[in-house]
Amino acid sequence: MDRRDFLRTGAFVFGSMAASAPVMAAFRRAIGSGNLSDASIQALSDSLNGSLILQTSTDFSSAVKVYNSRFNDMRPMAIARCADAADAATCMEWCIAHDIHFVARAGGHSYCGWSTCEGLVIDVGPLQDMEYDPSTGIATFGAGVQLVDVYHYLSGFGRAIAAGTCPSVGLTGLLLGGGQGMLTRGHGMTSDLLVSADVILYDGSTVHSVVCSDASEHELFWALRGGGGGNFGLVTKLRVQTFPLAGEVAYGAMRWDWSVAKDILDYWMGMGATLDPAVSMNLLLSPAAPTVSNSEPVIYMVAASTKPDDSQQTELRSMLSGLANHVPASKLLSYTTDRKYWVDLALTYSGCSHFSNPYEDCHFPSDQWPNGQLVQKAFKSKSDYYTEAIPQEGFDKIDEWLRLRHQNPSMNQQRASLHLDLIGDASVVNQVAPDETAFVHRDTICCAQYIAYWSAGDDCSLVNENLDWVRGFYEAMRPWASDQSYQNYIDDDLTDWAQRYYGSNLPKLRQIKSKYDPQNVFYFPQSIQPLDDGGRS
């Protein structure tokens, strides 16, 4: 019996062992199509090199999970675990033929749970091939690779890319929406490093694959660099320009008394205009820990320098000293600097350095990573870009909302923060014209994320309190924030989301959508709409 006669990893068995009529009927009800024949369902299964996991499968409950546990109740009719790009194309063809909604899933990190749906989830997570070409510095990645694996793999060649800090984020989704992290100021957004991509498209009549680059399918290539995941086609492979990062990286951390927080914030926001782009400096403003009796919030900074010489730690210390000397010495509560190889520092920022085997354990448990220690998170996030310094009135609102959370005994047991990533005019990010790629946010001081976490089992009232806190904090900052939001921190509260994510690039993105997805088969609540939206607006 051929392996395709079974749905692997515990999935429901098709092949020569035909599925029962009741199960087939349940399958059809789940996808809202009573007209599907048993033969058509069987045909999808038989045509896959990977597996089709139904709701009746013993491992459906694990396969269905995405990163944010808020969306655990979403139950797709099935999950297609693609073994190759051909499987993804087959699933697309089948869904289009039967008018079934589908979404692609790589890392499953969509902040709004839009890497799952009630139809078919086309899971490209198994596409994890990686290859590095030393003659060009270009690395090729399958669509399912996660950042922790990318960093680990490239470190073996003394190379890196600028990307995020969350280890289980899929590279594909991150890159398509921009992608930022500790190396961004010096090397640009992750999307700026894209060389080419393999993409499966539907032109209204056929499903086909193209390779897009600056020289071929240029409009699509432009759109994929910041136009957001899931909008134009299904990406199965990425080729990304890497850069050398073989030596140790200097890094530091500082924490101050809250009484000087406004002074530190002012000084920090002004640094981005002249600070060496090889240096990153990010601020974290958080409520006081629940074990602390007073309600003073916390201001904390992490920094790193990737200057390719031995002076990096000296220079980083000098820059940090500028911050330290800006306020009375008694207000600096802690100050550390050290050096680590980038892959080890990335694991530290990922929260994995304390594991007994930091790289192996920095995964979700699976057959591939049986000792994985990562777990789902329940959270809500909103974002802003700041293009001007935050005045005293704005800081007073930050202070107010951080204290409000600490004063709530039910909410203050879980983490929450305002996270500020420094960008600034001296960064590589802001040296790129807003219309050079689809990523339009090229005039900012910093990117802000308002975020709150809670436990997956918390009752609805506590969840709503957290949601209200994030939304209230965000609304309180409207007078001083710009009209831009980061598309990778996708936010289902926004009504003007398209303008906030894409700004002046939106009309061109809609034109490209009309060309490459005229029937709007790639759609979700905040997907870019073609000029004629195919009736799915």
pLDDT tens, position by position, 109-167: 999 999 999 999 999 999 999 999 999 999 999 999 999 999 999 999 999 999 999 99
Question: What phi, psi does 461 have (nearest 5°)?
Answer: -65, -40
Rounded Cα distance, 347 and 525, in Å: 34
* Residues 410, 499 contacting (CB under 8 angstroms): no
pLDDT beyond 50 at 475 = yes
Q: What is the pTM of this model?
A: 0.92
Two tokens, residue 439:
């990523």
Residue with structure tokens 């071929």? 216
Rounded Cα distance, 240 and 193, in Å: 5
pLDDT tens, position by position, 257-302: 999 999 999 999 999 999 999 999 999 999 987 776 677 999 999 9
* Residues 154, 161 contacting (CB under 8 angstroms): yes
Task: Output the DSSP codes for 114-164.
Answer: TT--SSEEEE-TT---EEEETTTTEEEEETT-BHHHHHHHHHTTTEE----
**For the residues 420-441, what does the mean pLDDT come to?**
98
Fold of the domain built from segment(s) 248-492: Vanillyl-alcohol Oxidase; Chain A, domain 3 (3.40.462)
A 10 A CB-CB count for 68 gives 21
pLDDT tens, position by position, 479-533: 999 999 999 999 999 999 999 999 999 999 999 999 999 999 999 999 999 997 6
In sign, the C-alpha dihedral spanning 525, 529, 534, 537 is: positive
* Residues 185, 279 contacting (CB under 8 angstroms): yes
pLDDT tens, position by position, 321-351: 888 888 999 999 999 999 999 999 999 999 9
| Residues of the chain above pLDDT 90, percent | 80
The terminus-to-terminus CA distance of the chain in angstroms comes to 45
Question: What phi, psi does 318 have (nearest 5°)?
Answer: -65, -45
- Residue whose C-alpha is closest to residue 111's, from 422, 526, 428, 465: 526
Rounded Cα distance, 298 and 260, in Å: 11
pLDDT beyond 60 at 98 = yes
Residue 362, amino acid: C
In sign, the C-alpha dihedral spanning 157, 162, 165, 169 is: negative
Fold of the domain built from segment(s) 130-244+501-516: 3.30.465
Question: What phi, psi does 384 have (nearest 5°)?
Answer: -145, 160
* Residues 313, 259 contacting (CB under 8 angstroms): no
Q: Burial, 432: exposed, middle or buried (Cβ in 10 Å; 0-12, 13-18, 19+)?
A: middle
Domain boundaries, the chain: 3-123, 130-244+501-516, 248-492
What pLDDT score was predicted for residue 3? 27
* Residues 124, 88 contacting (CB under 8 angstroms): yes
Two tokens, residue 252:
């530091």
Choose the weakest-confidence range: 100-104, 116-120, 233-237, 311-315. Answer: 311-315
- Local confidence band at 476 (pLDDT 50, 70, 90 cut-offs): very high
* Residues 186, 306 contacting (CB under 8 angstroms): yes
What pLDDT score was predicted for residue 402? 96
pLDDT beyond 70 at 10 = no
Domain 3-123 is found in CATH 3.40.1620.10 = no
Task: Output the DSSP codes for 288-311.
Answer: PPTT-SS---EEEEEEEE--SSTT
* Residues 200, 127 contacting (CB under 8 angstroms): no
What pLDDT score was predicted for residue 35? 61
